[in-house]
């Protein structure tokens, strides 16, 4: 069995909305290069796979046929713009080959889900994946096809009875939530900056799933400006309890790193160290609860040099069971490449130098504190539906 299957080849950089768009493929290219330069690919059991785009029948396990046709029509020259399907908007401009590039991302996450489920690989990482805003019938928020939703659907079709999806991107994981809104077999947990101020404007604690699956949707909406210790306090007050109670057979996690203080699109102030700490905990949960079955995908992240490559290189290290020590120097070959290509200094170390201690929820909470209020709202909304006590567990 492969210890880690990593999905990557250069074709993933073809998911490219153009130079003016925040989701530049540079972030993926720099991540892959940093992963390599750190020596993570040299570890025994780490296997890198490229994949082909999936066919329409796979996409249509989640997406409407009319949407898939619209994406295809928008992906050729001359493109047919289709704003009703979210194509040709400011967030999702069309480009030649968009259908293939988007379907390839789905292929990556789907391959990992099947490989991890069938024990071909212990863990899987697709940092090009995590297109969590894509809806069944329209593109949204830089996302065309929803790779995680297609992969989870395939797991259910293969017989999985309980799948947990955890989304720590700074934006609400609305697309995956929508697809499994009323499906008791899938627990979706999204931690994000509140929709009161941030796209997509959804993901509130009172949204906890449909009538057939109350509690299968969990939203923890942090106030803008949330920093490391309060975020970790909230994460630890919600995620492990629900994962243990739901007892999933496999964990699918989305690692958008746009929660970082340097990210230009949101207003949270997390450090790299906080993000990496949460990756470490999610990995441990996969072993504790899911017999190690873990598929991790990327997501948002728009600070292309300082944040995304380091965050996801750490993710790969954790998944490879060779976590990168925080004090590690960023390889000089990578720093030289960044300086030559972009004319800017790259970070020197694989850390922001922040400690990741936090005050646990069980030490007491303050209802007047905005983060504690958010955490308590989520716990009150969903903990009883899982047999948990919002006040004391």
Please say which residue, 107 or 300, places its beta carbon nearer to Zn ion.
Answer: 300
Give the total of residues touching Zn ion (CB under 5 A). 5
Of the ranges 66-74, 195-203, 221-229, 249-257, which one interacts with Zn ion (CB under 5 A)? 249-257
CB of 208 to Zn ion, least distance (A): 22
CB of 178 to Zn ion, least distance (A): 16
CB of 50 to Zn ion, least distance (A): 23
Please say which residue, 116 or 186, places its beta carbon nearer to Zn ion.
Answer: 116
Query: Which of 29, 37, 183, 258: binder of Zn ion (CB under 5 A)?
Result: 258
Q: Per CB under 5 A, does 104 bind Zn ion?
A: no
Record the tokens describing residue 230, joined without a space. 């309060």
Please say which residue, 2 or 182, places its beta carbon nearer to Zn ion.
Answer: 2
* Residues near 177 by beta carbon (within 8 Å), at least 6 away in sequence: 188, 190, 203, 207, 217, 219
Placement of tokens 């046709």 in the chain: 69
CB of 79 to Zn ion, least distance (A): 25
Placement of tokens 């739901």 in the chain: 246
Please say which residue, 169 or 352, places its beta carbon nearer to Zn ion.
Answer: 169
CB of 301 to Zn ion, least distance (A): 7
Please say which residue, 4 or 101, places its beta carbon nearer to Zn ion.
Answer: 4
Q: What part of residues 283-312 is at the interface with Zn ion (CB under 5 A)?
A: 300
Please say which residue, 41 or 73, places its beta carbon nearer to Zn ion.
Answer: 41
CB of 256 to Zn ion, least distance (A): 4
CB of 392 to Zn ion, least distance (A): 31
CB of 325 to Zn ion, least distance (A): 17
Q: What part of residues 159-188 is at the interface with Zn ion (CB under 5 A)?
A: 169, 171
CB of 31 to Zn ion, least distance (A): 16
Task: Give the span between the Cα atoms of 202 and 195, in whole angstroms.
Answer: 5
Region of residue 217 (left: phi > 0; alpha: psi -120 to 50; beta: else): beta
3-class DSSP string for the chain: CEEEEEECCHHHHHCCCCCCCCCCCHHHHHHHHHHHHCCHHHCCCEEEECCCCCCHHHHCCCCCHHHHHHHHHHCCCCCCCEHHHCECCCCCCCCCCHHHHHHHHHHHHHHHHHHHHCCCEEEEEECCCCCCCCCCCCCECCECCCHHHHHHHHHHHCCCCCEEEEECCCCCCHHHHHHCCCCCCEEEEEEEECCCCCCCCCCCCCCCCCCCCCCCEEEEEECCCCEHHHHHHHHHHHHHHHHHHHCCCEEEEECCCCCECCCCCCCCEECHHHHHHHHHHHHHHHHHHHCCCEEEECCCCCCCCCCHHHHHHHHHHHHCCCCCCCCCECCHHHHHHHHHHHCCCCCCECCCCCCCCCCCHHHCCCCCCHHHHHHHHHHHHHHHHHCCCCCCC
Please say which residue, 103 or 295, places its beta carbon nearer to Zn ion.
Answer: 295
Of the ranges 9-17, 53-61, 250-258, 336-344, which one interacts with Zn ion (CB under 5 A)? 250-258
CB closest to Zn ion, residue no: 300
Please say which residue, 61 or 261, places its beta carbon nearer to Zn ion.
Answer: 261
Q: Per CB under 5 A, does 256 bind Zn ion?
A: yes
Please say which residue, 171 or 322, places its beta carbon nearer to Zn ion.
Answer: 171
Give me the residues that bind Zn ion (CB under 5 A), please.
169, 171, 256, 258, 300
């Amino acid at each position: 069995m492969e210890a880690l299957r990593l999905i990557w080849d250069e074709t993933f950089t073809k998911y490219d909305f153009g130079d003016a768009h925040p989701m530049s493929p540079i972030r993926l290219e720099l991540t892959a290069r940093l992963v390599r330069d750190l020596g993570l690919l040299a570890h025994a059991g780490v296997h890198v796979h490229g994949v082909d785009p999936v066919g329409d029948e796979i996409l249509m396990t989640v997406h409407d046929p009319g949407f898939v046709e619209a994406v295809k029509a928008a992906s050729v020259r001359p493109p047919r713009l289709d704003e009703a399907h979210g194509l040709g908007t400011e967030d999702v401009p069309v480009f030649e080959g968009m259908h293939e590039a988007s379907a390839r991302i789905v292929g990556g996450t789907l391959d990992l889900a099947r490989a991890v489920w069938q024990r071909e690989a212990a863990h899987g990482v697709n940092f090009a994946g995590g297109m969590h805003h894509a809806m069944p019938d329209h593109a949204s928020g830089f996302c065309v096809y929803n790779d995680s939703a297609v992969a989870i659907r395939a797991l259910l079709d293969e017989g999985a009875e309980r799948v947990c999806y955890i989304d720590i991107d700074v934006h609400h994981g609305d697309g995956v939530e929508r697809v499994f809104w009323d499906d008791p077999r899938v627990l979706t947990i999204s931690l994000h900056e509140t929709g009161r101020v941030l796209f997509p404007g959804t993901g509130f604690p009172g949204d906890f799933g449909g009538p057939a699956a109350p509690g299968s949707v969990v939203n923890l909406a942090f106030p803008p400006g949330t920093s490391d210790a309060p975020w970790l306090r909230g994460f630890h007050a919600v995620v492990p309890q629900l994962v243990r109670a739901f007892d999933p057979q496999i964990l699918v996690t989305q690692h958008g790193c746009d929660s970082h203080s340097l990210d230009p699109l949101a207003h949270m102030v997390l450090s790299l160290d906080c993000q990496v700490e949460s990756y470490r905990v999610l990995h441990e949960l996969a072993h504790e609860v899911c017999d190690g079955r873990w598929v991790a995908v990327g997501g948002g992240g728009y600070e292309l040099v300082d944040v995304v490559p380091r965050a996801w290189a750490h993710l790969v290290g954790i998944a490879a069971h060779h976590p990168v020590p925080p004090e590690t120097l960023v390889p000089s070959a990578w720093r030289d490449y960044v300086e030559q290509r972009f004319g800017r200094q790259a970070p020197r170390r694989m850390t922001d130098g922040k400690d990741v201690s936090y005050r646990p929820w069980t030490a007491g909470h303050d209802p007047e504190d905005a983060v504690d209020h958010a955490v308590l709202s989520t716990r009150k909304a969903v903990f009883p539906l899982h047999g948990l006590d919002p006040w004391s567990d």
